[in-house]
Chains A and B, each alone.
Chain A
């Protein structure tokens, strides 16, 4: 196999890869933030004593966890124009779908995290006269999140890898950048090889960061 290493140059990066990298990173970032925010809301709904709140939340989470992400991406992108009358761009569609999808996964992580904090902590907070909201925001969630950080960040790494699924709706992500450049220069092998290396480096670095943060933030026991 002869690799043309002259393929790898700054022009390649600037013209084709950078745009895709930015999109993938942005999508990961906002999907993580939105996913954690809505995931927390969903988790609290699921944990609620009132069936009016917990049952719809459960349905939503179970639904999202039962169908492949790529299908959700496709359906949303194709069906939205019928519902609202005009088409949404592929990028916006990707953001909405990812947040909606990841919220379900983050919900389950966060719910497990909340349950992992011992019941005694709830008792102590209530015994001191705290309300449900004070207990949750000051006592339970801070502890739950510290416990969950490794799992949450692993989910983010998976999310980053999943951004490549937007190929289904033609959005320009990192992988698309490598695909296009490979086609353009007639060097698909070199391009995909670099893609593999870049994805690996990014994910490996994030994993290492997870380990460091975990050591920092762990509650002294």
Chain B
């Protein structure tokens, strides 16, 4: 059974339809890259998966639990879906270690010592142990994003969502964040990434979803998307031709 199931999602902002009949599945262990031009609805789509964006019609299931069911404990479900944002969104009034432990203590009800242990473990994994008592404002963008990834991992999520994680970073910091994400993929984490980093997609992506104007235009394997044998839509071909070759 797929870990994430989106069936016929439609979403409007007022009169404007941002998502049109979008359907996709993600099985455990897959790394799905969602790409497309600005305004295509990629960020909106990924935010529907953990319910940050509501939908007007369609069905969403995560780990077998339906988001449409009013009985569903949404906060609990969200704690199992990690999310990393374009603007990092660390809590600026808390130190790095406090950022990592606050949700563990408040949401997962872990003891502070367990939470700190877990926090330090993931901080080590992203290479930022030395920054544990600093505040987000004292860190560079790349460091903040790595802390954000660690913060999401501390919750032991079943799937990680990335919403343009490197788009707000200086080019020289993009690498350090992508390295963390690539390692995560190699460790078997199920990931859905909205990104413009096609190199990342080619390295570890299992599937590519190409969106345009609220529609899912392509949903195929990475080889098929970047290769030449698979018959792609004109829009996808046009998009690929415009990307600077890697």
- Name A's B-contacting residues (CB within 8 A): 118, 120-121, 123-131, 134, 138-139, 142-143, 146, 219-221
Say which residue of A118, A129, A142 sits within 8 Å of B79 (CB atoms). Answer: A129
Q: Are A129 and B78 in contact (CB under 8 A)?
A: yes
Q: Are A134 and B93 in contact (CB under 8 A)?
A: no
Q: Does B106 contact A (CB under 8 A)?
A: yes
Could you say which residues of chain A place their CB within 8 Å of the CB of B76?
A: 129
Say which residue of A120, A130, A131, A219 sits within 8 Å of B93 (CB atoms). Answer: A219
Q: Are A143 and B106 in contact (CB under 8 A)?
A: no
Q: Are B85 and A130 in contact (CB under 8 A)?
A: no
User: Known pairs A130-B75, A219-B135. 12 more at Cβ < 8 A?
Assistant: A121-B89, A124-B89, A125-B91, A126-B78, A127-B82, A128-B151, A129-B79, A129-B103, A130-B103, A220-B92, A220-B135, A220-B138
Query: Given known contacts A126-B78, A128-B151, A143-B93, is B106 in contact with A138 (CB within 8 Å)?
Result: yes
Q: Does B52 contact A (CB under 8 A)?
A: yes
Q: What are some 18 contacts across the A-B interface (CB < 8 A)?
A: A120-B89, A121-B89, A123-B52, A123-B85, A124-B85, A124-B91, A125-B103, A127-B52, A127-B81, A127-B85, A128-B78, A128-B107, A129-B75, A129-B77, A130-B75, A130-B106, A220-B92, A221-B137
Alpha-carbon distance A130/B78, docked complex (angstroms): 8
Interface string of B196-234 (1 = CB under 8 A from A): 000000000000000000000000000000000000000
Could you say which residues of chain B place their CB within 8 Å of the CB of A129?
A: 75-80, 103, 107-108, 155
Q: Are B92 and A128 in contact (CB under 8 A)?
A: no
Closest to A124 in B: B89
Query: Given known contacts A127-B50, A143-B93, is B106 in contact with A134 (CB within 8 Å)?
Result: yes
Interface string of B49-80 (1 = CB under 8 A from A): 01010000000000000000000000111111
Alpha-carbon distance A126/B52, docked complex (angstroms): 8
Query: Given known contacts A129-B107, A134-B106, is B137 in contact with A123 (CB within 8 Å)?
Result: no
Q: Are B83 and A127 in contact (CB under 8 A)?
A: yes
Could you say which residues of chain B place their CB within 8 Å of the CB of A142?
A: 93
Closest beta carbon of chain B to A187's beta carbon, Å: 53
Closest beta carbon of chain A to B26's beta carbon, Å: 17
Q: Does B102 contact A (CB under 8 A)?
A: yes
Closest to B87 in A: A120
Alpha-carbon distance A134/B85, docked complex (angstroms): 20
Alpha-carbon distance A219/B89, docked complex (angstroms): 14
Interface string of B90-118 (1 = CB under 8 A from A): 11110000000011001110000000000
Could you say which residues of chain A place their CB within 8 Å of the CB of B90?
A: 124
Could you say which residues of chain B place their CB within 8 Å of the CB of A146?
A: 93
6 nearest A-B pairs in the assembled complex, by CB-CB distance: A129-B79, A220-B137, A124-B89, A128-B103, A127-B83, A129-B107
Could you say which residues of chain B place their CB within 8 Å of the CB of A123?
A: 47, 52, 83, 85, 89
Alpha-carbon distance A83/B83, docked complex (angstroms): 56
Closest beta carbon of chain A to B212's beta carbon, Å: 25
Could you say which residues of chain B place their CB within 8 Å of the CB of A221?
A: 92, 137
Could you say which residues of chain A place their CB within 8 Å of the CB of B82?
A: 127
Q: Are B92 and A143 in contact (CB under 8 A)?
A: yes
Alpha-carbon distance A128/B50, docked complex (angstroms): 10
Could you say which residues of chain B place their CB within 8 Å of the CB of A138?
A: 102, 106
Alpha-carbon distance A124/B91, docked complex (angstroms): 9
Could you say which residues of chain B place their CB within 8 Å of the CB of A127?
A: 50, 52, 78, 81-83, 85, 152
Alpha-carbon distance A130/B137, docked complex (angstroms): 23
Alpha-carbon distance A80/B195, docked complex (angstroms): 65
Closest beta carbon of chain B to A140's beta carbon, Å: 10
Alpha-carbon distance A146/B138, docked complex (angstroms): 18
Closest to B108 in A: A129
Alpha-carbon distance A79/B237, docked complex (angstroms): 77
Could you say which residues of chain A place their CB within 8 Å of the CB of B87?
A: 118, 120
Could you say which residues of chain A place their CB within 8 Å of the CB of B152?
A: 127-128
Alpha-carbon distance A130/B155, docked complex (angstroms): 12
Could you say which residues of chain A place their CB within 8 Å of the CB of B50?
A: 127
Closest beta carbon of chain B to A129's beta carbon, Å: 3
Q: Are A219 and B92 in contact (CB under 8 A)?
A: yes
Could you say which residues of chain B place their CB within 8 Å of the CB of A121?
A: 89, 91
